[in-house]
Amino acid sequence: MMSEESIKEYLRERALKATPIRVGLLSLLSERESAIPYSEIQENLKSFDRVTLYRTLNALIDGGIVHKASTSGDETYYALCSQNCSKHCHKHEHIHFKCTACHEVSCMHIEQAIKISIPNFQIEEVSVEVKGVCDKCCK
C-alpha cells in the first residue's frame, strides 16, 4: 500500500503529473496483492471519466509504471510494475498466474529462469502466462 505522497513522488520521477485519477488508480493497484481486471478498476474509479481512465492506463503503461498482467481471457488485468521498469521499456522477470477457480491473476516471481532461443530469431521479450489453481483454491 503506497501512500499518496509516495505515489505523487513516483509519478513526478517519471515526469508525469500527479493528477487525482492517476493517484487514485495507483493507490487502488498498490493496495491489492493481485492484478485487477479492467471492469473492477472502472467500478472503483467510476467518478472519473471513462475516456480519461483509458488514457491514464495507457499513460502509466507508457511510463513503465503499470503493466498488463493478462490479456488472454475475457478481460485485461492490470498490475503495478516493479521499480525496474522504465519509460517505454518494461522489464518483467516474472510470470502471470491465472487461477481458473477464483479468476485471480497474480504476478509471480519464479526460480527457474526461462530462456528461449530460436535459431536466426532475435528474442526481445518473453511473456509467460500460466493457468491453474492457486494455493488458496488448492487447499
Partner DNA sequence: TTTATAAATGCAACAATGTTGCATTAAAAT
Partner DNA sequence: ATTTTAATGCAACATTGTTGCATTTATAAA
Q: What are the residues binding a copy of itself (CB under 8 A)?
A: 68, 71-72, 95, 97, 100, 108, 110, 112, 114-116, 118-135, 138
> Please, what is the minimum distance in Å from the beta carbon of residue 115 to a copy of itself?
8
Mark 100-129 with x for binding to DNA (rule: CB under 7 A) and - for no binding.
------------------------------
The rounded distance, in Å, linking the Cα atoms of 36 and 102 is 13
Do the Cβ atoms of 67 and 93 come closer than 8 Å? Answer: no
What residues contact 56, with CB distance under 8 A and at least 6 apart? 19, 21, 22, 25, 48
Q: How far is CA 38 from the centre of its chain?
A: 11
Mark 46-85 with x for binding to DNA (rule: CB under 7 A) and - for no binding.
--xxxxx-xxx-xx---------------xx---------
| Cβ closest to a copy of itself, residue 47 vs residue 122 | 122
